[in-house]
Structure 1
Amino acid sequence: MTNVKYVLLSKHDTSENDFEHQSQSVFEKILAFVTQKQFARILTFCAVISTLPLLHTRFYYDKTKHFYETTIQVEVEENNITTTESVLNVTNHNDISKYEYFIHTSQCRIPYVEPFGESVLKIFNPHKYKYTNCTKDEAFITSIYQLNARKYVLHMNMDAIERAVKPLNAIATDVRCCYRQIVRAGSGGSADLKYNLLNCVIFHQDFLVPKHIDYLITECYLGSNDKKPLQKDAFSFIQATKKTNSSESASESKVSGIRKPSVLLIGIDAVSRINLRRTMPQTFKYLQRNQWVELLGYNKIGDNTFPNLMALLTSYNLTMAEQKCLPKTVGGLNDPICNFIWNNFKQFGYKTAYAEDTSSMSTFNYKKKGFKRPPTDYYLRPLTLAIEKVLKVTKKAGLSYCVGRKHYGEYIYDYALQFVNAYPEEPLFGLFWTNSFSHNAFDIEATMDVKVLEYLEKLKTDGVLERSIVIFLADHGIRWGPLLKLKSGFLEERLPMFFLSLPPWYQKQHPDFVKILQINQKRLTTPYDIYATMKHILEVAQPEKVFSILNGTTRGISIFREIPENRTCNDAGIPEHWCTCVPYEIVPTSDAVVKHVTLLVLMEINQYLVNKNISDKCAELKLKTIVSVQMKMIKVPNESTYRISFEVNPEKARFQATVAFNIPTNTIKTDVEDISRLDSYAKTSNCIDLKEEKKYCVCKK
């Protein structure tokens, strides 16, 4: 490949010599005039005034010259010539708003989106959203961890209890408290669905929690009244002496002596990198100030949470995940062939944990069988099942937002902090995921900005960032709602946030990783690459141990190895419909070919309903209107690729499809399950209980 660079000046630019010559000639004429006339002082003053515009113009030119420079890079390779344009070279890479693109490579240009554009502010007022506590009362019970003894104590806050019962003409000693142990109770197909809440056992001040208890609910009553508790609360425990499945527990390799970093994944469902800046500005500023690395080209590879997390945790795409893991079969997700990377971490001596809120829609349970056996050493699901039933629930956007005295997400974050603080000297792997304040609406997460920031700061003050590689990420952006109606909606859905924090000692130990990471920040990346990165971390920490790959291949490239500059979506494993790299041009919605192609897409969807044997319950979809159309600018002979957003009847359901139209054969190529549903379908598809199929089903009335 031959690269030739040219620098062209805007037609408004003028050379410095022209300015100097112009300024000089004006001064000479004025001085000659002054020597021949009276009122020299007045005329001299006028001359100075007349030259000010020229002086200002020259000064402005010097200051802004680089803004008018346009660099045209011409790439010549095997008779193919392409041009790429870069408007401004920016040295301050922390201020991404100065870029036209999130990333700009020879094969991938992802446009930068202004988070607070005029169209966004019509649907989002940042001053409207405030953090509020879930309760106004004081906590009666506090859980205290004694690190040296590795034990938990339930402490009764007698002053708070005294204040609470004083209006009832009672004193703190009139209050009795008990706990109910939560136990995972199901088996077979219900193993991940059932729990037992044991009888309430009275406890007293500074009660030592027995080692066999992983979670419990406390209830405090006044006197002999056992029907209406004064307060309920829920607690989880990381019992450090609990027998785990990890093969060895060493903070460093016994052979090489290399220190092992903990690896923690903290995920928030449906948050794009654009929306993080918009709805959680304090969290974003914290990440920037503390040098968290952001992957600017991180692109989702599938529609919803399951395919994106499976790619990250197993390296499988959706098809392979369904074939190998059999998520709708009891025990399928526990089968070693499912290749979850937390099993590899166990083999390398790590303690493991997994916690996710909103039990009905958890990644591995929504329309799936879940785990027959706990997948990790520490598993929070029994607690989430219990608190949703036993404690008071307040909802926002249809999801449990406050559960008991805390925001639902806080149970997940508290569990994460318990996990890392219970094992300060041992390597850990943990996945901590929240859905409750982000999945159903793009703006609710704004109410949790200060709380998420609080937990991230706690990771720093507790020293967790000193010993752990921490990844703060999402699976995708919001998948429906008003945000997707904007011009930036296509990118909002496909570009999840991704931030990475490396411990200082790890950076010193691997300076090459740091340099490569700076390069890969601006390269196209996917969840497959994060699986490869975690594999890389283990192999580097314990090179004498073999990392077993059960599927025979690993998709993705570690972000600690340079990702090719010319990487395409196809190279990265990103299907066409989810690819944000390639530019499209607008096509009129009235175009006859476009209407024909849209009708062909509808035929495919309706046939899909027939093939899935649900057409008796789901209505036939009929085109109402074509909302917008774009055509791929990179042409293939005899083929045009369209991105079409359209609305159908009944129920004005909205879809977006990426479809390749073969002109000679008059046929289309598209994967129905990659077609996006842009509006919420929870209420219109409840006649069937199939996850993927629900997107395309509008129930008959």
Structure 2
Amino acid sequence: MKKTWNVISSRSVLATKTKSHLKIAKDVEASKYFIHTSQCRVPYVDPFSNETLKIFNPKEYKYTNCTDDEAFITTNYQLNARQYFLHMNFPAIGRAVKVLNASVTNVRCCYRQIVRAGSDESADNAYNLLPCSIFHQDFKIPQHIDYIITECYLDNNKEQIVQKDAFSFIQQPEFNSNNSNNLPPTSSHLKKRKPSVLLLGIDSVSRINLRRTMPETFKYMQNNRWFEMEGYNKVGDNTFPNLMALMTSYNLTTATDKCKPESVGGLNKPICNLIWNNFKQFGYKTAYAEDTSWMSTFNYLKTGFQQPPTDYYLRPMMMAIPKQMKVKKMAGLAYCIGRKHQAEYIFDYALQFANAFPEDPLFGLFRANSFSHNSFGTTATMDMKMLEYLTKMESGGILERSIVIFFADHGIRWGSLLKLKSGFLEERLPMMFISLPSWYRNEYPDFVNALEINQHRLTSPYDIYATLKHVLEESDPEIEFSYLNDTVRGLSILHEIPENRSCIDSGITEHWCTCIPYEVLPSTDATATYVTVLVIDEINQYLDDINISSKCSLLELKSLKKVEIKMYELSNQSAYRITFEANPKKPKFQATAVYDKTSNTITTNVGEISRLDSYATTADCIDSKEAKKFCICANMKS
């Protein structure tokens, strides 16, 4: 069987060369890979290959403002007083209403407070919008108000609204008792300066696609000494398992069991172990914001949080504004809401949070889904805007106070990009960049050396959890918080990752592992076809086991699209990676199965089977998030 990865045969040639020639040959060989270690070789992918440029034209994706009008209302924050003020831009108001034969004196502006309003199972899914209160120039926002919608209208005709806008506020609690710090006292000489930790996430962006669609953002990070983890490998199919691995060190099975995200209060329980609770315990102020609220990580087909999970929490506002303001969609998602891109509300909140408390240690998670989740190309529209946010963080001193992690949960999970030869890697290698403050680099040079090495080692979300844990413990050496039971214990990337690390060592299962070379088999291979039929049987059995088979059609093999087999077989077992299309409705799947030649059986994890096309319109008859990718509703069969 001809091998498509000519690794073994090259060794005999290299053995005859001089040491200098040997080094040159190894460097050339390594340049063909993102990761090139003894146990992991991830092949290089050209982001601008000819086949990619056939489906991606950068000129088709340009940044555009959501509105061309001037802002009537802006906010001013006075740091010393910790107070926000609403400022009315009278010249802009006058220019806008002149065409309506009105003047500034005919305009009234009011604000509606947004408040979190639910309880029990609706605690994280309900808000109230209070009556509109008139305000005047430089109105001081009361400290109990966290978010508002402003409305400016003509005279007493509240129906003739000239402009709406929305604003969030990071308010300083009046009591300021720091009651979250329940740690025992430590010796003053052991206390160290605590860096803030800010996580900026974009959904569904591989490190390959970042270069393709956000070249200016990538160039900025390259030029400013951000560390890129080139071997960062996802550990689950969608956002929830990858983010839970990063935030709790739990795999999906454990996270589901301990956090019970579909049960009221499950995500708030201490056993759920979300790491922002540990940061809060160590004296950090915490924040969390995510856009596209109906599909956010902890709420899509889940109950969400019974109590706000962090000190500052933007969800009520992100639920309210799409209902109250004009929405423009792109790739099926709300791209603009009111006068701003939906993602801007998230990253503006990150800047607000960091600027409101410049002297305090902060932990924040800020994620955007709106411009990247449904299409790999639309990410390009926000390249310059993300560059703007990063440069603001630099000029405002935030990067000097904070460890900033710019990351994705996974790559794109369906669509034309996955049909390319590189599609397997596009899905499994999310971007992961890290910026360290200069003082932190100077104080911990060993961490810098480790990161420079680890950029070229295999890593996973479990390692980011271990790193966050490491940062906390380093800031207070007398304190250590233990892993809870059943966690996957990653390695801090501030220490050198072993060169011989494998996917098994990293908590990455076979289906998601990008390390092991596979070779291509004909799609007509009889054994591969048999294995595929067994995989489909497993899917059908899964639907039956969770009692939804009556709602979903029985799947049958339509065609086998691609077959790969692991190069290094284990005695009587072979690992198959198969891409296939099923009936009805032609859903496309990718699965990994270990086939035992002796027993003619397979071992596969149904939960890790990938759906390569969108299931948004084929699974409306069920609510189970994990089962949706397999369900073709029975009433759609014809």
Q: How high is the TM-score relative to the length of structure 2? A: 0.95
TM-superposed deviation, 1:636: 0.3
C-alpha displacement at 1:467, in angstroms? 0.8
SS of match in other structure, 1:230: strand
- Contact residue 217 and residue 233 of structure 1 kept, 8 A: yes
Structure 2 Cα separation of the partners of residues 512 and 173 of structure 1: 63
1:86 matched to which residue of 2? 26
**Residue in structure 1 matched with residue 34 of structure 2 by the alignment:** 102
Question: Which has the higher mean CA deviation after the structures are superposed, 512-521 or 549-558?
Answer: 549-558
CA gap of 1:687–1:553, structure 2 versus 1, over 3 A, is closer
Name the residue aligned to 2:381.
447
Which of 365, 388, 394 lines up with 2:328 in the alignment?
A: 394
Contact 1:70 1:88 in 2 (8 A): no
Q: What is the CA-CA distance between 1:414 and the residue it aligns to? A: 0.5
Q: Distance in 2 between matches of 1:688 and 1:245?
A: 43
Aligned-pair CA distance for 1:583: 0.2
Task: Give the distance between the partners of 2:551 and 2:331, measured in 1 at CA.
Answer: 27
Q: CA–CA distance in 2 between the matches of 1:157 and 1:272?
A: 42
Deviations 1:462-502 (A, max 9, x none): 00011100000000000000000000000000000000000
The alpha carbon displacement at 1:615 in A equals: 1.0
Q: CA deviation at 1:9?
A: 8.0
CA RMSD of aligned residues (A): 2.1
Maintained 8 Å contact 2:183/2:281: no
Residue 118, structure 1, aligned to residue 50, structure 2: yes
Matched letter for residue 87 of structure 2: H
Q: Read off the aligned partner of 2:26 and give its amino acid letter.
A: S
The secondary structure found in structure 2 opposite 1:226 is strand
Matches within 5 A, 1:248-397: 254-397=188-331
Deviation, 1:547, is: 1.6
Q: Relative to structure 1, is the Cα distance of residues 623 and 9 closer, same or farther in structure 2, using a 3 angstrom cutoff?
A: closer
Q: Distance in 2 between matches of 1:669 and 1:248?
A: 47
Give the equivalent residue in structure 2 for 1:135. 67
- Write the distance in 1 (CA, Å) between the matches of 2:619 and 2:487: 37
Task: Tell me, yes or no, if structure 1 residue 223 matches structure 2 residue 163.
Answer: no
Distance 1:358 1:254, change over 3 A: farther
| Contact in 2 for aligned 1:245/1:346 (Cα 8 Å) | no
Structure 1, gaps ≥5 residues long: 16-64, 73-84, 91-98
Cα distance in 1 for partners of 2:235, 2:99 equals 58
Q: Deviations for 1:273-319, whole angstroms, at most 9, x for unmatched residues?
A: 00000000010000101110000100000000000000000010001
Deviation track 1:142-180 (CA, whole Å, cap 9, x = no partner) reads: 011111111000000001001001111111121000000
Alignment partners' CA distance in 2, 1:552 and 1:659: 25
Q: Is contact 1:195–1:385 with CA below 8 Å preserved after alignment?
A: yes
> Residue 565 of structure 1 corresponds to which residue in structure 2?
499
Question: Once the two structures are superposed, what CA deviation does each residue of 1:326-363 show, in whole Å capped at 9, x if it has no partner?
Answer: 11110000000000110110111100000000010010
Give distance in 1, aligned partners of 2:23 and 2:569. 25
Q: Whose RCO is larger (CA < 8 A, sep 6+)?
A: 2
1:541-552 counterparts in 2 under 5 A? 541-551=475-485
In the alignment, what sits opposite 1:149?
81
Corresponding residue number in structure 1 for 2:5: none
Deviations 1:83-104 (A, max 9, x none): xx735288xxxxxxxx211110
Q: Among residues 317, 341, 363, which one is paired with 1:407 in the alignment?
A: 341
Match of 1:433 in 2: 367
- What TM-score, normalized by structure 1, do the two folds share? 0.86
In the alignment, is the contact (CA less than 8 A) between 1:532 and 1:554 conserved in 2? no
Within 2, Cα distance between the matches of 1:598 and 1:552?
32
How big is the shift at 1:246?
2.8
- With 496-505 and 387-396 compared, the bigger mean Cα shift is at 387-396
Cα distance in 2 for partners of 1:150, 1:253 equals 31
Gaps of 5+ in 2: 1-9
Distance 2:171 2:142 in 1: 9
> Which whole-Å CA distance do the structure 2 matches of 1:286 and 1:360 have between them?
32
* Equivalent position of 1:490 in the other structure: 424
Please state how far the C-alpha of 1:369 moved relative to its aligned partner: 0.4
CA contact (8 A) 2:34 2:44 kept: yes
Q: 1:491 to 1:540 in 2, by over 3 A?
A: same
Check the 8 A contact 1:145/1:151 in 2, yes or no.
yes
Residue 161 (structure 1) aligns with: 93
1:487-535 Cα distance to aligned partner (Å, 9 max, x none): 0000000000000000000011001111111111111000000000010
3-state SS in 2 of match to 1:656: strand
What secondary structure sits across from 2:164 in the alignment? strand
CA drift of 1:256 comes to 1.4
Aligned to 1:94: none
* CA apart distance, 1:225: 1.1
Quote the Cα distance in structure 2 between the aligned partners of 1:89 and 1:595: 34
> Does residue 575 of structure 1 match 2:575?
no
One-letter identity of the residue aligned with 2:615: Y
From the superposition, tell whether residues 667 and 6 of structure 1 become closer, same or farther in structure 2 (CA, over 3 Å). Answer: closer
Residue 650 of structure 1 is matched in structure 2 by 584
Which residue is equivalent to 2:535? 601
**Alpha-carbon distance in structure 2 between the residues aligned to 1:247 and 1:71:** 53
Aligned to 2:146: 214
> Contact 1:263/1:428 (CA < 8 Å) preserved in 2?
yes
- Between the aligned partners of 1:293 and 1:681, the Cα distance in structure 2 is 36
Change beyond 3 A, Cα 1:456–1:248: farther
Amino acid at match of 2:289: A
Equivalent pairs: percent with the same residue? 66
State how far apart, in whole Å, the 1-side matches of 2:13 and 2:435 are. Answer: 40
Output aligned runs, 1:456-471, within 5 Å.
456-471=390-405
- Aligned to 2:390, the other structure's residue is in SS state helix
Whether the aligned pair in 2 keeps the contact of 1:653 and 1:679 (CA below 8 Å) is yes
Matched residue type, 2:45 = V
Q: Distance in 1 between matches of 2:462 and 2:576?
A: 27
1:377-430: CA deviation from partner (whole Å, max 9, x where unpaired): 000000001001111111111111001100000000010000000000010000
- Structure 1 CA distance for aligned equivalents of residues 237 and 223 of structure 2: 32
Q: Is the 8 A contact 2:86 2:137 kept in 1?
A: yes
Counterpart CA distance in 2 for 1:220 and 1:6 is 73
Moved more, 150-159 or 553-562: 553-562
Question: Counterpart of 2:426 in 1: which secondary structure?
Answer: helix
Aligned length: 623
Moved over 6 A (4+): none
